[in-house]
C-alpha cells in the first residue's frame, strides 16, 4: 500500500481517497476496515499535497461518520483528521469550524482528535484563539440602534471557536498545551465571557434550541455567555487550577458571570479565587491583560477593571511584586469614557487599604487625587463614581499622611455636603459617614476652615437622625460622635457620646433639648446660622425629617403655650413657628441644596408635602 501511495499520480490521488471514503460505509466490515487502512496510509504518505482538498476531505469524513455503523470507523476518522492536521493545521481547523452548531457527537470527537500530541494541540489552541478574536463577537440589530429593545446577536465564527476550544480542552492529553498557553487562554476567554453577557443566539439556532436537540447532539448549553463560561471553567480544570474552579462553584461565581446584574461581582470573585489559589499564574495574566484598557468593547473594559480592582484587595499584589503594575493599569483607565470603569478604578485604589494597608502612605497623594477627582465626576447628581469616591475616601483617610489629607480636606467637606440631602439613601449614608471619618482624623488638630464645615453640618446631621432609612440615621450617629471633640465643648461631646451609641434607643425630643441647650450656652453666635439652615427642612420630602425641623427651631425659640385643654403637639406645624423664624426663612437666600425637596425613591418615604399641610 505504501508503494501505491508513493507512486500514485497526483491527479488520481483524490479520486482514490474519495472512493475509499465511500467504502467506509460498506456493510462488509472487512472492506470497511481495509478502506480505513488505505485512507490513513495515503494521508500519511501524500497528505502534504492535499491542502486545497482539506475542506472537501473533512466534509466527506463528517458525512460518512453519520452513515457508518462500525466501531472502528470513528477512531479511523479521528486518525485521518489528526494526520491531515499535522500537515495542514490551519486548513483543518477552518474546515472543522464549518461544522453546524450545536456540534454533534462526531464533530466533538474530531476536535478531540487534535489534542493527541502537545505540539499540535498548542498550535490548534492558538488558531482557535485567533478565530475567536478575529470577528466581532456580536452584531446589533436595527431595533437596538434605534434605541428600542436591546437585541445583540452572536456571530457564528467566535461562537464556533468557543465550542471547539471546549472540546479540545476536555481531553486530558491537552493539559501540557493548556498550561503553555495559560495566560493567553485565560484572558481571551474572560474577554469572551464579558462581551457575550446578554447576547442572543442567532435566530436559526434559537429555533433549534426551542425544538429540542437531537440525541446525536452534544449536551452542552449553546447560549453564548454560558458557552464561554463553561469553556473558561474547562480551561482552568485542564490547567490544574481545580481549587479556583471549586471556589467559584461554592460562591456561585460562574452564575454571576453569566448575568448582567452580577457580572462585575462574578469577575471580582474570580480574581479573589485566582489570588488565593493561582497566585503564581497572575504575573503573566496581568501582562496579557495590560493592553485591554483600550478595548473597543465597553463590557471588556468593565470586566478586566473589576478583575484588576479586586486583586488589590489581596496581599498577593504585594507578595508577587505586582502592586506597581496594578496601580499603573488602573491609572491608565481613570479617564475612561465609561462611568463603570472609572467607578471600578476608584474601588480598586481604595482596596489598597485592605490588601496592602502599609503601602497606602507611600501612594497617598496619587490615591487622594484620584478620589477627589471622582467626587467631581460628571454632572450627574447621583453619579456612581462620586459614590465610590466617598466610600473609598472613608477607607483611606485614616491611612494617608496627615499633610497629604490636609490639602484636600476642605474641598472634600464642601463637595460632599449636598449629598447629605440626596434622594438616594446610598449617597446620604456614604457622605455622612465620610464626614464622620474626616472629623475623626482631625481630632485635636481641627483648622478653623474645617471647623466651619463641622458647624454647618450640625443641623442636617441632627435632623437626619430622624431619617426613614436606618443606615442614614446610623451614619448620623457616627458622624455626630466624631464631630463632638472638634467642637471643643465637653458637655456637647459627652451628650453625643451618651445618647448616640449604636444600638441604644434614642429619645429624639429629649436629646434635641439637651443638645440645643448646650449650643445656646456655648455657641450663641451660631444660632442664627443653625436656624437658617434648619428652615430649609420645613419642606423636606421625608415626613420625620420635616417634623423634626420645627421641633429643632422651637428648642431655640421657646413658644408660649396657648391656654387650651388639650396637650400641646410635640412637633408644631409651620404656622406655629415663631415669627422670628418665619422672617428668617423668608429672608434666607440659600441653603443646604434642593435635593431633599424632590420626590424620593418609593422605598425611602412619601412624596413632597407643603409645610402648610401640617405635621
Question: What CATH number should be reported for the domain holding residue 20?
Answer: 1.25.40.290
Rounded (10°) CA dihedral 90, 96, 102, 104 = -140
Q: What is the pLDDT of residues 323-342, one digit of tens each?
A: 999 999 999 999 999 999 99
Position 210 confidence tier, pLDDT thresholds 50, 70, 90 = low
* CB contact at 8 A, 12 and 52: no
Q: What are phi and psi of 591, to 5 degrees?
A: -175, -165
CA dist 341 and 301 (Å) reads 7
| pLDDT of residue 118 exceeding 90 | yes
Among 538, 557, 576, the domain-final residue is 557
Would residue 109 count as lying in a domain?
Answer: yes
Among 114, 146, 163, the domain-final residue is 114
Q: Cell 445618647, residue?
A: 499
Rounded (10°) CA dihedral 316, 319, 320, 323 = 80
Would residue 55 count as lying in a domain?
Answer: yes
Task: Report the Cα–Cα distance between both ends of the chain, in Å, rounded.
Answer: 102
Q: Which three-class secondary structure state does DSSP give residue 148?
A: coil
Reference 78, options 176, 173, 157, 160; nearest CA is 173
Query: Rounded to whole angstroms, what are the CA distances from 14 to 37, 46, 433?
Result: 16, 10, 78
Mean pLDDT of all residues in 87-95: 96
High-pLDDT (> 90) share of the chain, % = 59
Cβ–Cβ contacts within 10 Å for residue 339, how many? 16
Find residue 104's DSSP bridge partners: 217
For 50, residues 6+ apart whose C-beta sits below 8 A from its C-beta are 13, 14, 17, 43, 57, 84, 87, 88
CA dist 416 and 376 (Å) reads 10
Position 50 confidence tier, pLDDT thresholds 50, 70, 90 = confident
Would residue 147 count as lying in a domain?
Answer: no
Structural domain boundaries, residue 506? 447-557
Question: Number of structural domains, the chain?
Answer: 2
| pLDDT of residue 578 exceeding 50 | no
Grid coordinates representing 577 are 413657628
Would residue 277 count as lying in a domain?
Answer: no
Q: What is the pLDDT of residues 389-445, one digit of tens each?
A: 999 999 999 999 988 998 889 999 999 999 999 999 999 999 999 999 999 998 877
| pLDDT, position 235 | 98
* CB contact at 8 A, 467 and 542: yes
| pLDDT, position 23 | 79
Query: Beta strands 152-154 and 138-140: pairing type?
Result: antiparallel
Residue 252: CA atoms inside 13 Å, Cβ hemisphere, count? 6
Among 114, 148, 174, the domain-final residue is 114
Q: Crossing angle of helices 89-96/105-112, nearest 10°? A: 160
Reference 131, options 172, 98, 105; nearest CA is 98
Q: Cell 472638634, residue?
A: 486
High-pLDDT (> 70) share of the chain, % = 84
Position 590 confidence tier, pLDDT thresholds 50, 70, 90 = very low
Reference 343, options 254, 262, 405, 264; nearest CA is 264
To the nearest 5 percent, what fractions of the chain are helix, strand and coil? 70, 0, 25
SS (H, E, C) 360-397: CCCCHHHHHHHHHHHHCCCCCCCCHHHHHHHHHHHHHC
In which region does residue 454 sit, left (phi positive, over 0), alpha (psi from -120 to 50) or beta (all else)? alpha
Q: Which three-class secondary structure state does DSSP give residue 605?
A: coil
| pLDDT, position 305 | 97
CA torsion sign for 381, 384, 386, 391 is positive
Find residue 153's DSSP bridge partners: 139, 200
Would residue 461 count as lying in a domain?
Answer: yes
CA dist 484 and 438 (Å) reads 12
* CB contact at 8 A, 289 and 191: no
Q: What is the pLDDT of residues 461-486, one digit of tens each?
A: 999 999 999 999 999 999 999 999 99
pTM: predicted TM-score of the whole model, two decimal places = 0.84
Position 149 confidence tier, pLDDT thresholds 50, 70, 90 = low
For 188, residues 6+ apart whose C-beta sits below 8 A from its C-beta are 129, 132, 133
Position 42 confidence tier, pLDDT thresholds 50, 70, 90 = confident
Q: What is the pLDDT of residues 340-353, one digit of tens each?
A: 999 999 999 999 99
Write down the H helix ranges in 464-609: 470-483, 490-499, 508-522, 527-535, 543-556, 579-587
Would residue 73 count as lying in a domain?
Answer: yes
Would residue 525 count as lying in a domain?
Answer: yes
- Between these two residues, 63 and 301, which has the higher pLDDT value? 301
Would residue 610 count as lying in a domain?
Answer: no
Average pLDDT, rounded, for the chain: 85
Mean pLDDT of all residues in 66-92: 86
Give the single-character DSSP code of 195: T
Amino acid at each position: 500500500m505504501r508503494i501505491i501511495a508513493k507512486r500514485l499520480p497526483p491527479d488520481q490521488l483524490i479520486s482514490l481517497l474519495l472512493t475509499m471514503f465511500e467504502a467506509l460505509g460498506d456493510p462488509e466490515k472487512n472492506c470497511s476496515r481495509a478502506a480505513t487502512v488505505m485512507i490513513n496510509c495515503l494521508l500519511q504518505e501524500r497528505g502534504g499535497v492535499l491542502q486545497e482538498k482539506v475542506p472537501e476531505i473533512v466534509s466527506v469524513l463528517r458525512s460518512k461518520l453519520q452513515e457508518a455503523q462500525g466501531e472502528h470507523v470513528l477512531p479511523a476518522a479521528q486518525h485521518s483528521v489528526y494526520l491531515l492536521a499535522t500537515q495542514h493545521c490551519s486548513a483543518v481547523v477552518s474546515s472543522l469550524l464549518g461544522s453546524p452548531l450545536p456540534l454533534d457527537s462526531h464533530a466533538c470527537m474530531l476536535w478531540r482528535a487534535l489534542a493527541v500530541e502537545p505540539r499540535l494541540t498548542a498550535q490548534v489552541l492558538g488558531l482557535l484563539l485567533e478565530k475567536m478574536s478575529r470577528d466581532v463577537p456580536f452584531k446589533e440589530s436595527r431595533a437596538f440602534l434605534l434605541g428600542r429593545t436591546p437585541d445583540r446577536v452572536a456571530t457564528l465564527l467566535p461562537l464556533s471557536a468557543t465550542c471547539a476550544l471546549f472540546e479540545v480542552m476536555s481531553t486530558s492529553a491537552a493539559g501540557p498545551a493548556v498550561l503553555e498557553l495559560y495566560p493567553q487562554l485565560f484572558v481571551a476567554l474572560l474577554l469572551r465571557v464579558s462581551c457575550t453577557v446578554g447576547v442572543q443566539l442567532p435566530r436559526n439556532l434559537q429555533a433549534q434550541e426551542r425544538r429540542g436537540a437531537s440525541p446525536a447532539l452534544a449536551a452542552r448549553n449553546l447560549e453564548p455567555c454560558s458557552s464561554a463560561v463553561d469553556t473558561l471553567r474547562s480551561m482552568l480544570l485542564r490547567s490544574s487550577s481545580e481549587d479556583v474552579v471549586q471556589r467559584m462553584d461554592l460562591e456561585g461565581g460562574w452564575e454571576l458571570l453569566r448575568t448582567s446584574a452580577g457580572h462585575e461581582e462574578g469577575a471580582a470573585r474570580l480574581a479573589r479565587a485566582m489570588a488565593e489559589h493561582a497566585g503564581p499564574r497572575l504575573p503573566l495574566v496581568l501582562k496579557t491583560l495590560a493592553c485591554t484598557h483600550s478595548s473597543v468593547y465597553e463590557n471588556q473594559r468593565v470586566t478586566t477593571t473589576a478583575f484588576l480592582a479586586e486583586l488589590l484587595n489581596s496581599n498577593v499584589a504585594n507578595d508577587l511584586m505586582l502592586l506597581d503594575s496594578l496601580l499603573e493599569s488602573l491609572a491608565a483607565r481613570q479617564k475612561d469614557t465609561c462611568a463603570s470603569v472609572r467607578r471600578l478604578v476608584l474601588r480598586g485604589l481604595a482596596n489598597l487599604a485592605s490588601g496592602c494597608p502599609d503601602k497606602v502612605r507611600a501612594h497617598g497623594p496619587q490615591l487622594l487625587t484620584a478620589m477627589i477627582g471622582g467626587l467631581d465626576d460628571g454632572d450627574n447628581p447621583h453619579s456612581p463614581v462620586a459614590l465610590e469616591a466617598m466610600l473609598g475616601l472613608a477607607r483611606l483617610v485614616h491611612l494617608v499622611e496627615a499633610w497629604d489629607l490636609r490639602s484636600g480636606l476642605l474641598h472634600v467637606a464642601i463637595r460632599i455636603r449636598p449629598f447629605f440631602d440626596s434622594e438616594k439613601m446610598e449617597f446620604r449614608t456614604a457622605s455622612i459617614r465620610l464626614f464622620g471619618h474626616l472629623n475623626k482624623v482631625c481630632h485635636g488638630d481641627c483648622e478653623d476652615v474645617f471647623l466651619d464645615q463641622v458647624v454647618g453640618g450640625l443641623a442636617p446631621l441632627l435632623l437626619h437622625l430622624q431619617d426613614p432609612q436606618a443606615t442614614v440615621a446610623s451614619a448620623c450617629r457616627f458622624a455626630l460622635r466624631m464631630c463632638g471633640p472638634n467642637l471643643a465643648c465637653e458637655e456637647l461631646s459627652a451628650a453625643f457620646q451618651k445618647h448616640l451609641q449604636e444600638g441604644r434607643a434614642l429619645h429624639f425630643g429629649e436629646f434635641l433639648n439637651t443638645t440645643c441647650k448646650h449650643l445656646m450656652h456655648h455657641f450663641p453666635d451660631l444660632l442664627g446660622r443653625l436656624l437658617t439652615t434648619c428652615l430649609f427642612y420645613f419642606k423636606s420630602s421625608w415626613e420625620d425629617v420635616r417634623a423634626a425641623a420645627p421641633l429643632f427651631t422651637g428648642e431655640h425659640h421657646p413658644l408660649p403655650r396657648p391656654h387650651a385643654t388639650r396637650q400641646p403637639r410635640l412637633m408644631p406645624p409651620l404656622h406655629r413657628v415663631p415669627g422670628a423664624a418665619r422672617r428668617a426663612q423668608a429672608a434666607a437666600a440659600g441653603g443646604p441644596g434642593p435635593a431633599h425637596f424632590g420626590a424620593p425613591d418609593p422605598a425611602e418615604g412619601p412624596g413632597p408635602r407643603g409645610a402648610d399641610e401640617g405635621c
